[in-house]
Chains A and B, each alone.
Chain A
Amino acid sequence: KAGVTQTPRYLIKTRGQQVTLSCSPISGHRSVSWYQQTPGQGLQFLFEYFSETQRNKGNFPGRFSGRQFSNSRSEMNVSTLELGDSALYLCASSRGDPSTDTQYFGPGTRLTVL
């Protein structure tokens, strides 16, 4: 079974631009969560989608948004990029039951904002 895939793997943008990252979950998984990882803050939860609906949201500004499609693929968007948005963005997929499921992570997208 193929794992979680993320595209692109690396991205360089400048301040003020916007960026869209993509995540394809493991086949059969319906939940996708997004995390930001930085050396200073570690892994921080952004949001989680299930059946095209956002179920949970972390404490990030409105510049961070996401969506999920009917095939469970998900995208996240960051508008008006800031230097501090430079990070590894990870998505994780799971089947859909928050009481029991394990999240499996993709390889991440390394975003550098100049």
Chain B
Amino acid sequence: QKEVEQDPGPLSVPEGAIVSLNCTYSNSALQYFMWYRQYSRKGPELLMYTYSSGNKEDGRFTAQVDKSSKYISLFIRDSQPSDSATYLCAMKGAYSGAGSYQLTFGKGTKLSVIP
């Protein structure tokens, strides 16, 4: 079983739709969770960062973590064509020492928002 599973899509939605992006993970030691947005031929940019179960909201974006189910989600409300990008989930453990800084990435979900 892969450590992080993420549906690669592609996912195509009409403008204004609510988008749900998801990742599952198998290692319960993973405690910090990130979502990156990557536009074509660009580097990933950090979108959301959470380290506890529950929801975190930032504008149109909501990150949700369910550690009991090992499941994280990113919701995008009122989606815009400018949200068209690949979304990568990433996570890391809470332990210190060698390896604690290494991120485990999902493969990314490609999202297209159609005007």
Q: Are A and B physically bound partners? A: no
